[in-house]
């Protein structure tokens, strides 16, 4: 491997970015496992990890080609979002018997986990941690609030 690509990005930087992406993805996946969802710990960890990996690759390409070409690392970021959106769409299912749509929270969770992985890949650790905490808030506390509101509405 060309060591020049690490001029601004050390092996330790790469490790920290990827490892934090895995840990934050795992936290989201653990919540999904606790909620008895089919997509959980490993999937969210891999999704966040993969997003960070592609961002790091785009950063390395930018560093390696600095001055010789116009390289925009956000192009890869845009394609990550598109790809995960495609996967997320496959998670949304209409259950005819129950008359309900399922998988929306998982699909949007994938989208957010992708953003968290991308933030780790770019080195925006505070943003990634804050976003993870906020997503956990939405998945846990707001689930409780939503459940209570549904019960009140059903009793009216």
For 48-94, how does the pLDDT look when each residue is reduced to its tens digit (9 = 90+)? 999 999 999 998 888 777 756 677 778 889 999 999 989 888 889 99
Q: Could you tell me where the beta strands, DSSP code E, fall in 4-156?
A: 93-95, 100-102
Query: What's the mean pLDDT when you consider all of the chain?
Result: 90
Q: How many CB atoms lie within 10 A of CB 51?
A: 27
Q: Please report the pLDDT score of residue 51 as a whole number.
A: 98
Average pLDDT over residues 130-155: 93
| pLDDT reported for residue 132 | 98
In terms of Cα–Cα distance, which of 109, 107, 114 is closest to 86?
107
Contacts of residues 102-109 at CB distance under 8 Å and 24 or more positions apart, as own/partner, are: 105/139, 106/32, 106/37, 106/38, 106/39, 109/28, 109/32, 109/39, 109/44, 109/135, 109/139
Tokens of 58: 């785009």
- Do the Cβ atoms of 110 and 92 come closer than 8 Å? no
pTM above 0.75, yes or no: yes
């Amino acid at each position: 491997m060309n060591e020049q690509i690490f001029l601004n990005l050390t092996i330790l930087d790469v490790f920290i970015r990827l490892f934090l992406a895995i840990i934050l993805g795992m936290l989201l996946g653990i919540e999904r496992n606790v909620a008895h969802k089919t997509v959980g710990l490993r999937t969210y960890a891999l999704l966040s990890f993969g997003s960070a990996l592609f961002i790091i690759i785009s950063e390395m390409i930018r560093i390696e080609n600095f001055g010789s070409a116009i390289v925009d690392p956000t192009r890869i970021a845009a394609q990550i979002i598109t790809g995960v959106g495609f996967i997320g769409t496959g998670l949304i299912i209409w259950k005819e018997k129950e008359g309900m749509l399922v998988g929306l929270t998982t699909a949007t969770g994938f989208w957010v986990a992708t953003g968290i992985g991308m933030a780790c890949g770019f080195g925006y650790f505070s943003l990634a941690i804050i976003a993870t905490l906020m997503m956990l808030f939405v998945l846990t506390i707001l689930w409780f609030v939503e459940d209570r509101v549904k019960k009140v509405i059903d009793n009216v």
